[in-house]
Amino acid sequence: MKKMLYVSIILVLTLTVALTGCGGKSTEDTGKTDTVTQTDALATDAGAKTDDSAKTVDKASPDKAANTENKVNTDLFGEITLWHHLNKDDKSFENVMVGFNKKYPNVKVKVVKYGSGYEVSNKLQTAVAAGTGAPDVVLIEQSDINKFNGTDSLTDLLPTPFDAGRYRDDFPQNIWEKFHSLNHKKLLAIPVDAPPGVMFYRADILEENGFPSDPEELGTYMEDPDNFINMAQMLKAQGKYIIDYDTEILDLLSDSRFFDKDLKYTHIGDKYVQGLDLSKKVKQLGLASNLSGDAWNKALNNGKIAMMWSASWYMNWLKQDSKDNSGRWRVTRQPMDTYSVGGGSALAIPLQSKNKEAAWAFIEYAVTTIEGQKEFIKFNSIPAFKPALQVPEIADSTEDFLGGQKANALFASLVDKMPPDYPSSLEDPVWKIWSSGIGKAMKTNQDSHAVLKQIADDVEKAVAADKAKLLKEMGE
7, part of any domain: no
Query: Whole-angstrom Cα distance, residue 12 to residue 15?
Result: 8
Based on the fold, state whether residues 152 and 45 are members of the same structural domain. yes
Based on the fold, state whether residues 203 and 65 are members of the same structural domain. no
Which residue range(s) make up the domain with 354? Answer: 31-194+343-402
- pTM listed for this prediction: 0.85
Q: What does the pLDDT read at residue 428? A: 87
313, part of any domain: yes
Based on the fold, state whether residues 72 and 173 are members of the same structural domain. yes
16, part of any domain: no
Based on the fold, state whether residues 263 and 398 are members of the same structural domain. no
Based on the fold, state whether residues 314 and 380 are members of the same structural domain. no
Based on the fold, state whether residues 190 and 57 are members of the same structural domain. yes
Last residue of a domain, one of 292, 324, 342: 342
Cβ contacts of residue 326 below 8 Å, gap of 6+?
Answer: 319, 400, 401
201, part of any domain: yes
Based on the fold, state whether residues 219 and 130 are members of the same structural domain. no
Q: What does the pLDDT read at residue 35? A: 34
393, part of any domain: yes
Based on the fold, state whether residues 362 and 336 are members of the same structural domain. no
Q: What is the DSSP string of 270-330?
A: HHHHHHHHHHHHHHHHT-B----HHHHHHHHHHTSB-EEEEETTHHHHHHHHTGGGTTTEE
What's the average pLDDT block by block, 10 residues per block, for the chain (476 residues)?
38 32 34 34 33 32 43 84 93 95 96 93 97 98 93 96 97 94 95 97 98 98 98 97 98 94 95 98 98 94 96 93 95 97 96 97 97 95 97 97 98 94 90 96 94 98 95 81
5, part of any domain: no
Based on the fold, state whether residues 169 and 47 are members of the same structural domain. yes
**Structural domain count, the chain:** 3
CATH number at residue 135: 3.40.190.10
Based on the fold, state whether residues 271 and 376 are members of the same structural domain. no
Q: What does the pLDDT read at residue 59? A: 33
What crossing angle do the helices spanning 370-377 and 92-103 adopt, rounded to 10°? 160
Q: What does the pLDDT read at residue 366? A: 98
389, part of any domain: yes
Last residue of a domain, one of 402, 418, 442: 402
> 318-352, pLDDT tens digit by residue?
999 999 999 999 999 999 999 999 999 999 999 99
Based on the fold, state whether residues 275 and 232 are members of the same structural domain. yes
41, part of any domain: yes
Based on the fold, state whether residues 244 and 314 are members of the same structural domain. yes
Q: What is the DSSP string of 167-231?
A: GGGGS-HHHHHHTB-TTS--B--EE-B-PBEEEEEEHHHHHHTTS--SHHHHHHHTTSHHHHHHH
